[in-house]
Structure 1
């Protein structure tokens, strides 16, 4: 065999030696570490893991220590695996993501980051209109979604509600009002805020009802026979009460009633000609969320002078 026949092999060995000097093997090194990514719901999230190694490393990814397979359609990899894309992020995508680079020279390199889901506030459950009695307890729910967790406030008639021992916001966002007052009636809205936005619930109303209550009672009188008298009875409540007059427990005939509504107060005046002693009763009635309510006040009218009692001779 001629020596010249060995020259190509020598050249190959020489070139290999030169190449190993110029480009030595080295274990993977991650030069762009994986960072925590904040992603909005339904937006894309991208992790970058730039690797330096010789020979080039194989790059794999894990989520919560579970491998992400190249054929998983939920993920997209680019740049030879150095970029992991999660399209249309969902709640279930939150977690820890790790990049692992291995070229079997030295130890594999690893870098991890988290996917933190960010979401504008949403009202998951809106409050509803409610009708309650005076002095009862009101609770208006407001269930929200959002990342970070939204701060909840309430407005009434477009003004921020001032919290107190009587008015509070529960941990889950509901508005609670103890000992309802007349002034608590109105329109309410829940407001959810976080760093990504603000959301309003639909407006709802609290109606505060009150049982009928007599504010001014009729007063007894002593009058001459045949005198026309006026008896006054004022009542309030929500709904506005109706007022009925009775004479000795029966419907009155030959009398007239004047009624005037001033705000939520009904002013009722009975005009009747007195021909005998009688007990006049003012009945105030309204129907509210707790049922029907009737209150009464009475006045005894006596007669002086000529009075003939009817009856058998």
Structure 2
């Protein structure tokens, strides 16, 4: 007979062996202790430290560092030794080893020393840097300036005139995602991949040309497949637009499901206008499609029309409302598996 007792906290397995000799009426027992403690634990360690930042008052501040450690560390941020608590203006993220602190609009009081602290069962690590905030110049008000601005000086939340568009590209291609965003004051824009902010770098470069924003991907790889989001924000509000980018490797079969020949594209329309999205798929194998908005499945109704012709599908909203704005998805399923595509609809209020 063998009985096993496991202590989770110490990760120790106890095996008790009992041998019975009925004739001799002797009992031989033994205990074997085997440690199952894993050897792949490691204390937190910053592979990329925080770097000093110098920003103008009112600008966006982003602090980023890279971290490793097992088990996954808990992360905290400190400003001048005081724990930073996230709110509407201050966001903190920790994903896939990247620690990020973002202040959407800096004020002079944000200047100081910032520390990122990582803790797990194996130890503690910190990285520290300084942030300097340059004050805004004193505004110059004249009657000429005020009259020339008129109502145009009113704050306006960001709005996407054109959206970044989804693409199917090949491994190693150069890729450009582009959109036009309006707003007053001029919006700050960041790009995200699968919900994780993309740092501005040589490989993923940000460009802004008088309201036309671009993300330049110097060389794309299969792991860059996913959902790309442009976030635009200013003092009056914020707006987002998302699209799918799929990277294929030549001469390698796509085993993930139906292959898109045509996919829906993000668009901006005015309230009351028609919104129409099309997609079609390669081959003759039957495909089933499910449309959704902001994670909720869409069903045909008086306002929403769904149609199919073979392996071509259409989602139509004959007269869109402002509440129809959001991130849409189409998920296709066949005997190969499933694949999906995401896109954005913006609906402006009719004036």
Give the TM-score of the pair, scaled to structure 1.
0.34
